[in-house]
Chain A
């Protein structure tokens, strides 16, 4: 039984988890850094504890301190949210060893999927098509060039331990590869403590489509269909939708079936997402697996009516998934737009004081927010400040609601990407569903010059 739960995270996802806990009658414990003392999520929790200084290393990444608070507060379980310690196998292990339930899969599976080179091998064995790439870490730029020549440019140079778009770069020539290789390796070493690099061929005209999975401790694995997250800037998602406007029903079923099979062969439990790249002929390739709740999970909740956080908590508590595959049905279309505190043209962050924060009130709009009016956005964390999610009977309807919501969302005092999101949503190609990962480079950036 989980009666009391600590959220080892901040911002909108902490608020989101607390909301579900309240519905389930679970007591909540929030943790916060100095920078987040006045954050809305802290006030929502039943209890809250300070983690200390604002830097991630001294607060949300401080596993020892978080487990210490869990003991002091007498919780039953810890939910890691996304980012921070959510995909840190050692943290999951120490949570379990301290006698708490970790809301996520086994630490071994987290580690396996966190090392992208190993994950490629494991998933290939589990039957997923993988992108042509190096089987082992590439040590030198000569080795890198040799492989790139074999598969042909452009290629993606990636950090095995990378994530959130950090440590990944598209490369077009031998010269470019040689000039950046060493530097990227060092950066990966600094950021992730692991300088292993690998190379994948770049898939042309790719779309990013992922399958949401739920798996319990009784061998049940189901999928909650797909999400398309092709609209990205700096390799980070900004607009996500469910279902994908591109793939056929046949491809959708094939991807879902392959993802469920892979999760079963991993012995996966809890919520997870397998990300794929899909090319223009609807061939799909394994990209990576996220062993946690995703930022964009609300679009799936909106079209299936399933509370994924509640399922996570119940699965971790030893219950079965609330329904079987046949009972998961799709209804309508949902879109999420991530609102970032950043310049809409340069994508540079814009920390500062939010003077005005007026949100659109509509039955078609769901807002997940980390901020409020008269509130400081600090430079210590990710620039995402809130998410707008809209739904409609059709994609067209969902887009029209999102357009309205973006127009009515008023944030003053800092720069936000709202003008950029409106530009995208208004774009013909977006409305037609021509949403490849190159959308921003191809359609948005030229339009603002």
Chain B
């Protein structure tokens, strides 16, 4: 499952590491857009297989942030 950016912004914080167990609804990344923090959460339980961004990266809406399996 791919976790996508919900809007354009920069990656402010990454709360998980690759290999971490995550639960449905958990905020794995926090984006910053227009001076507001936008949490991005996972839709299903799983394991973070890959993180595609680093803190400070710029992402567009729809960009893949992480892969969770």
Q: Could you give, for residues 17-55 of chain B, a 1 whenever the CB lies within 8 Å of some chain A CB and a 0 otherwise? A: 000000000000000011110100000000000000000
Known contacts A379-B9, A379-B10; is A348 also within 8 Å of B35 by CB?
Answer: no
Question: Does any Cβ of A come within 8 Å of B8's Cβ?
Answer: yes
A94 to B8, alpha carbons, bound, how many Å? 35
A352 to B33, alpha carbons, bound, how many Å? 12
Asked if B35 contacts A351 (CB within 8 A), the reply is no
A383 to B8, alpha carbons, bound, how many Å? 13
Chain B residue numbers with a CB within 8 Å of A383 are 34-36
Chain B residue nearest to A164 in the complex (CB): B35
A342 to B7, alpha carbons, bound, how many Å? 11
Chain B residue numbers with a CB within 8 Å of A166 are 35
Asked if B8 contacts A348 (CB within 8 A), the reply is no
Give chain A interface residues in 326-348, CB to chain B under 8 Å. Answer: 341-342, 348
Chain B residue nearest to A54 in the complex (CB): B58
| Residues of B within 8 A of A (CB-CB), count | 9
The smallest beta-carbon distance between A440 and chain B, in angstroms, is: 16
Question: Does any Cβ of B come within 8 Å of A429's Cβ?
Answer: no
Contacting residue for A382 out of B9, B10, B34, B38, CB 8 A: B34
A234 to B38, alpha carbons, bound, how many Å? 14
User: B10, B33, B34: which has the most chain A beta carbons within 10 Å?
Assistant: B34
A234 to B9, alpha carbons, bound, how many Å? 19
Contacting residue for A381 out of B7, B8, B34, CB 8 A: B34
| Residues of A within 8 A of B (CB-CB), count | 17
Question: Does any Cβ of B come within 8 Å of A52's Cβ?
Answer: no
Chain A residue nearest to B6 in the complex (CB): A348
Question: Does any Cβ of B come within 8 Å of A350's Cβ?
Answer: yes
Chain B residue numbers with a CB within 8 Å of A352 are 8
A166 to B32, alpha carbons, bound, how many Å? 13
A101 to B36, alpha carbons, bound, how many Å? 33
A166 to B35, alpha carbons, bound, how many Å? 9
The smallest beta-carbon distance between A120 and chain B, in angstroms, is: 25
Question: Does any Cβ of B come within 8 Å of A349's Cβ?
Answer: yes
Chain A residue numbers with a CB within 8 Å of B34 are 341-342, 349, 351, 379-383
User: B9, B10, B33, B35: which has the most chain A beta carbons within 10 Å?
Assistant: B35
A341 to B36, alpha carbons, bound, how many Å? 12
The smallest beta-carbon distance between A62 and chain B, in angstroms, is: 17
The smallest beta-carbon distance between A85 and chain B, in angstroms, is: 16
Chain B residue numbers with a CB within 8 Å of A342 are 34
Q: Could you give, for residues 347-360 of chain A, a 1 whenever the CB lies within 8 Å of some chain B CB and a 0 otherwise? A: 01111100000000
Chain B residue numbers with a CB within 8 Å of A378 are 8
Chain A residue numbers with a CB within 8 Å of B8 are 351-352, 378-379
A164 to B34, alpha carbons, bound, how many Å? 13
Chain B residue numbers with a CB within 8 Å of A382 are 34-35
Asked if A350 contacts B35 (CB within 8 A), the reply is no
The smallest beta-carbon distance between B54 and chain A, in angstroms, is: 15
A352 to B60, alpha carbons, bound, how many Å? 10
A378 to B9, alpha carbons, bound, how many Å? 9
Chain B residue numbers with a CB within 8 Å of A348 are 7, 36, 38
A233 to B34, alpha carbons, bound, how many Å? 15
A380 to B35, alpha carbons, bound, how many Å? 7
A342 to B38, alpha carbons, bound, how many Å? 13
A386 to B61, alpha carbons, bound, how many Å? 23
Chain B residue numbers with a CB within 8 Å of A349 are 7, 9, 33-34, 36, 38
A26 to B9, alpha carbons, bound, how many Å? 37
Chain A residue numbers with a CB within 8 Å of B10 are 55, 379
Chain A residue nearest to B56 in the complex (CB): A55
Chain A residue nearest to B13 in the complex (CB): A190
A55 to B12, alpha carbons, bound, how many Å? 13
Asked if A381 contacts B35 (CB within 8 A), the reply is yes
The smallest beta-carbon distance between A54 and chain B, in angstroms, is: 9
A352 to B61, alpha carbons, bound, how many Å? 10
User: A351, A378, A381, A383: which has the most chain B beta carbons within 10 Å?
Assistant: A351
Chain B residue numbers with a CB within 8 Å of A350 are 7
Chain B residue numbers with a CB within 8 Å of A380 are 34
Q: Could you give, for residues 377-392 of chain A, a 1 whenever the CB lies within 8 Å of some chain B CB and a 0 otherwise? A: 0111111000000000
The smallest beta-carbon distance between B5 and chain A, in angstroms, is: 10
- Please name the 5 residue pairs, one residue from A and one from B, whose CB atoms are nearest each other, closest first: A349-B34, A379-B33, A383-B34, A379-B9, A379-B8
User: B: which residues have CB within 8 A of A?
Assistant: 7-10, 33-36, 38
A-B contact sample (14 more), CB < 8 A, given A342-B34, A350-B7, A382-B35: A234-B36, A348-B7, A348-B38, A349-B7, A349-B9, A351-B7, A351-B8, A351-B9, A352-B8, A378-B8, A379-B7, A380-B34, A382-B34, A383-B36
Sample 13 A-B pairs with CB under 8 A, ordered by A number: A341-B34, A342-B34, A349-B7, A349-B38, A350-B7, A351-B7, A351-B9, A352-B8, A379-B33, A380-B34, A382-B35, A383-B34, A383-B35
